[in-house]
Amino acid sequence: MLRAQNPVLVEDFKLETRFQSSDYLIRHQVVSGVCAPMLAETRVIGLLGVYSRTPRQFTEEQSHFLYLVATQTAMALEKARHLQAATRRLDELILLNDVIAATNAEVSLDRVLAIVMAEIRELLQSDDAQMYFVRESGGALKLEPAL
């Protein structure tokens, strides 16, 4: 069903040969249904399905309506994902700008590193962060804590 670019109508899932019924359909004793692909451009990002526990013949109109809803939902989800990614990139750029401003204002290496680590912890919402410098010692590379 995931490869379908069009809605799929099923009168009886027990007799269906185009695909295997999912655990959800079996658990919920689904008999009939219509599924529409959630298309983001030409890529299927999900399925929207409507089901019945009793035999039912969904119409082409219902199938087409579900397809329109699935397509609009997919586009809205993709827009939300893009917005979320853009917001994350903006937060990263703001962090980078803050780090640059802090490093330009500070002359103490320890203070610059402390500012960088605080900004990273805040942006990534983590409890802790650690920075290490690579030092060469006797031909071997070692990691030493920066702070």
Write the single-letter amino acid at 92: E
Domains defined along the chain, listed by start = 8-82 (3.30.450.40), 85-145 (no CATH)
Q: What is the mean pLDDT of residues 109-123?
A: 83
Characterize the bridge pairing of strands 43-52 and 8-10.
unpaired
Q: Assign 145 a pLDDT band (cuts: 50, 70, 90).
A: confident
Hey, CA dihedral for 94, 100, 105, 107, is it positive or negative?
Answer: positive
Q: What is the pLDDT of residues 21-78, one digit of tens each?
A: 778 888 888 889 999 999 988 888 999 999 999 999 999 999 999 999 999 999 999 9
The DSSP code sequence of 6-18 is: S-EEES-GGG--S
Q: What is the pLDDT of residues 78-97, one digit of tens each?
A: 999 999 999 989 988 888 88
